[in-house]
Structure formats: C-alpha cells, structure tokens
Amino acid sequence: MFTAWAEISFNRFLEFLSVGYAKRVVEEENFSRPVAACTTGSSCACGLHAPVVHIDGMTPDECRGGAAGLQLHYVFSQSPFGELIVASTGKGVCYAAFADGGREAAIRSLQSAFPLATLQEHPDVHNTCAARIFQLDGTGVGEVRLHLKATPFQVKVWKALAEVPVGHLTTYRQLAHSIGNARASRAVGGAVACNPVALLIPCHRVIHSTGCIGNYHWGPERKAAIIGWEAAHCTSRTTGC
C-alpha cells in the first residue's frame, strides 16, 4: 500500500525526509529556472500538475464585519494527504483546510473564519478547479484564482511561495530575499503561518535553514508526508525509479 501511494520504497522515502537531503535541496536549487518552467499552466519536469496561482486580496468592504454579505460555496475534496474543505467567493478560492475532525467540524471552522458570511455546499468554477488540482494526477486546469483576506505583505509572501516548484524546498530566509526584504525572515514566517489555503499556497515547502522540516498548521507528520510524496513522485517520474 505504501509503495502504491509513494511510488518508491519506504526506506527510499525516508531519504527525502533527512536533514542532509533538505539542506542540499535548499542550498543547491536555483528557483529562477524551475519557476519559469512550472508556472506555464502545464506540468513540471516531474510530471505533477503545476497550476498558475493568481492571488487577489479581499477589499476592506469584503473583510469588514466578519465578511457580512459574502456568499461562500464550499465542497469537500479528497487528496493523497486527507480530505479537505474548499470554499470560494465569486472571485476565487478563499479557504482550504484539512477536515481532520470530520465534515461538521470543518464547516464550523470555515464559519469561524468568516463569521457573518452565508455558507452553501455547492460546486462552482473555483472550488471545483481546486478540487481537481488536489487530486495531483498531472491533469486538471492550468490556473486557479485565490481571493483571500490578507495584508499586502501577506499577499506578497504568498505570491512568492506559490512560485516554489513541486518537489523543491525553500527557507524563510530565502523567501525574505525573494520579496526584496532580507531582514524580514520573522515576518515572512508569520505570513506563512497564516496561509488560509492548504496545498494551493505550498507552505509545506518552507523549512528551516538547518534542514529541519519544522512545524505545520496541519501537523508536522503531514508536512513530512507531503514533502516526501512530492520528492518521491518527482524522482520516480524523471528517473524511472
């Protein structure tokens, strides 16, 4: 079962979670080349789907008063790492979280994030698009739109984070450099921690410069599983292992 999921052996999978491997990836990778290849709306070199992510911040009126007046459509979607709830406004996906506590708890968490918004379980163009991407089967759509409650700084960090290719890793320091603020590592960490859309903004690809995988909103074990799965699939599809 594990080999069918990861496409490699368990021992080989563990190699991708080692500190040495992680440090080597963040030290050797130059994102200027792979990002250009992975933001075309097609597949990355590893064959995994790499959607172009467009991020727009909500207006003050849309955020004010607990998102009063906003109509949110949500669906549940399966992924290799667990079921997610995905919600969208008429402009894009605004929320995606793992439904670890069950569907009713997931809906309550969504309502808590948008207290006065109206919720309806209903597929639309945005949440359906995200649901296909979560299948991670190399097919689906070429782009996804996000419509997020965020500060301008958070949007800047999330846009940079969305450009980290599948199977690659970055650090808080590298992200700070990429947005032109080398001293903002701590603030970058705060923005990463506030990511409201699991997987679409790949905060799981941010690790410490020591090579330590670090914490994750949805659990360090899941973060390790996602990192290992992406690395394993990229390796197996490019080398045939």
Between 97 and 22, residue with greater pLDDT: 97
- The answer to whether 233 and 48 have CB atoms below 8 angstroms apart is yes
Position 156 scores a pLDDT of 95
Report the DSSP pairing between strands 84-88 and 93-98.
Answer: antiparallel
Question: What would the DSSP string read from start to end of 110-140?
Answer: HHHHSTTSEEEE---HHHHHHHHHHT-SS-S
Mean pLDDT of 155-163: 94
One-letter amino acid for residue 161 of the chain: L
Catalytic residue among 203, 212, 234, 241: 203
For 71-93, what is each residue's pLDDT tens digit?
Answer: 999 999 999 999 999 999 999 99
The helix/strand/coil state of 98 is: strand
The answer to whether 241 is a known catalytic residue is no
- What is the tens place of the pLDDT at every residue in 166-213? 888 999 999 999 999 988 999 999 999 999 999 999 999 999 988 899
With left for phi above 0 and alpha for psi between -120 and 50, is residue 69 left, alpha or beta? left
Is this model's pTM higher than 0.95 or not? no
pLDDT tens by residue, 20-68: 888 888 876 554 333 323 333 334 445 455 678 899 999 888 887 778 8
Q: How far is 17 from 228, CA to CA, in rounded Å?
A: 6
